[in-house]
Copies of this chain bind each other. A is one copy, B any other.
C-alpha cells in the first residue's frame, strides 16, 4: 500500500515514496543504460547519478541522442530564495556545474526573487529582502566552480526585460484552469502567483530564443518543481522550441528527519553561512538510525536509510563510494556510535564550508561576469 505523502511545488509532507511519485507525476526512472551513456559521454560518472539521488527523468534518452549527433545542450536550473542557502540547495548546482565541465554546456540560472514573495505570507519576505538573498545565492552558486562566460544568472526583478517578453508568450498558452489544478490554487490565489510559472518556464528556451535556433535544454531539479514543467513542456514545444529534458532529484532530509530540508526551519538545516560551532551543535541534535542506547546499537546496529548523518554523507559529503559503503556498514554493524559518527560529519561539513567560503571570496568581485546581460 502506498504511504501517505504529499509533494507539491510549495510543500513536501510525509514519507516520500519515490516510485509512487514517478507514477503520480508521469516521470520515468533513470535507467542503468542511461547512467552508462552519461558516464561514457562525460568520461566519468557522478555520484549524484550513481546513487540515484537523481532518480527520474523526462526526455533524457532523446537529449543524449541529440548530443551524440553533435547537437549540444545547455543546462537550466534555479533557486527561489526565502532565506540563506542551505547545503540541500546545492544539489542541482553541483549537478549543473559538473554538466558544464563535462559537456561544455552553458548554464542558465534563474533566481526568482518574486516567487516566495508571491506564494508565502511572511512579512520578512519583502521583494527587497529577497533580492538581497538573491545576490547572496548568486555568489554561493558561482563559488561551486562555474565558468564565466558560460554561466548566465538572472534575477527576475532585475532582468525582467530579458525574460518577461518570453514569459508572455508562455502565459498566453496556459489557462487558469490548468494552473489551478496543477498547483492546487483557488480563486483566492493572487494573480502574481498564478502568472509566475510562465517566468519559470522561460529558462527552458531562453538560449534558443536569444540565438533564434532550437537548442536542447537539460533541467536538473528537485522533484517538487516538476509541476512547472509538466505545465510548460507542451507549451514550449508549441512555441517552436524543444521540450526540455529533465532530471529529478530526491530530497535531502532535514537533520531532524523532515522529508525535505527547508531553509525556513533553522534547526533542521545547515546553511552555507553557519559557523563551525553552529554546525557542530546542529549535527549533534540530528536524528540517526541508531538504537536508543550505545549498548543496543553495538548489539543490533542501526539503519543508515533512516539516519540523517548517513544521508548527508550520501547526498553531499562523501562522493567516494567505497568510503560511503564503509560508513553505512559501520552504522549497520553497530561499530560506530552516534557521537563519533556526528563528530566526523561535522568536521566534513565544516571543511566543505570553509573551502566554499574561500572560493566565494575569490569571486565576490567578479559577479558581473556571471550575470545575464
Contact = CB atoms under 8 A, between A and B. Distances in A.
B158 A171 contact: no
A177 interface: yes
A114 interface: yes
- This chain: copies in complex: 2
A157 interface: yes
Nearest to A187: B177
Contact of A164 (B164, B171, B175): B164
Contact of A191 (B127, B158, B164, B176): B176
A179 B193 CA distance: 14
> Taking chain A's interface residues, is the majority helix, strand, or loop, or is none over half, making it mixed?
helix
Interface string A310-333: 000000000000000000000000
A116 to B, nearest CB: 11
A160 interface: yes
A353 B188 CA distance: 49
Contacts of A163: 160
A198 interface: yes
Contacts of A180: 187
Nearest to A194: B191
28 contacts: A114-B164, A114-B165, A117-B172, A118-B171, A127-B169, A157-B161, A160-B161, A160-B165, A161-B161, A164-B164, A167-B192, A168-B192, A171-B192, A171-B193, A172-B193, A174-B191, A175-B189, A176-B176, A176-B188, A176-B190, A177-B188, A179-B191, A191-B194, A191-B195, A191-B198, A192-B195, A194-B195, A195-B195
A156 interface: yes
Contacts of A186: 176
- Of A127, A174, A176, A180, most buried by chain B (CB within 10 Å of CB) is A176
A193 B198 CA distance: 12
A102 interface: no
A351 interface: no
Interface of A: 114, 117-118, 127, 156-161, 163-165, 167-177, 179-180, 185-195, 197-198
- Select the residue from A118, A169, A191, A197 with max chain B CB neighbours within 10 A: A191
Given A160-B160, A195-B195, A190 B165 contact: no
From A114, A157, A168, A175, name the one whose CB has the most chain B CB atoms within 10 angstroms: A168
Contacts of A176: 176, 185-191, 194
A281 B139 CA distance: 65
Contacts of A167: 192
A158 B157 contact: no
A192 B167 CA distance: 8
B168 A191 contact: no
Given A160-B161, A161-B159, A114 B168 contact: yes
A171 B191 contact: yes
A165 B127 contact: yes
Contacts of A173: 190
Contact of A127 (B168, B177, B190): B168
Given A175-B189, A191-B176, A195-B195, A164 B168 contact: no
A92 to B, nearest CB: 24
